[in-house]
Amino acid sequence: MRRIVLTVLLICVIKANPMPGPPVFYKVKTFSSECYLPPDSGACDNGVESVKADLKKSSIRQTTRYYFDTVTEECYPFAFLMPHCSKNANNFVSLEKCRSFCRQI
């Protein structure tokens, strides 16, 4: 009798705590490698004062470019200096080009 009670008790404990199901994995969004780069104004390493002086002389002009932020999955404007020394590719001429390039999923 004792053996039957222990067997029934063991079955109740096993049924009360079922094993968890397999883990569920979701596909992580990825973007083109250029879209992970930080925004880069294009300023050369001549120092801040040199850039300010060049801006006053109009040898450098400032334009608006767009970069992609992977956290918010959105494109944002930033000031870009022309001519530039930047090699950063997260730099798009228009909001539409930024979105079409980086938001491809």
Model confidence over 58-98: pLDDT tens digits? 667 788 999 999 889 999 998 887 766 766 889 899 999 99
Number of domains comprising the chain: 1
User: 88 lies in a domain?
Assistant: yes
User: 42 lies in a domain?
Assistant: yes
DSSP tag of 16 = H
User: 1 lies in a domain?
Assistant: no
DSSP states along 31-84: --GGGGSPP-----TT-HHHHHHHHHHTSSEEEEEEEEETTTTEEEEEEEEES-
Which CATH number goes with the domain that contains 83?
A: 4.10.410.10
User: 75 lies in a domain?
Assistant: yes
pLDDT at 38: 86
Q: What is the pTM assigned to this prediction? A: 0.58
Residue 45 to residue 4: CA distance in whole angstroms: 83
User: What is the domain extent for residue 91?
Assistant: 32-105
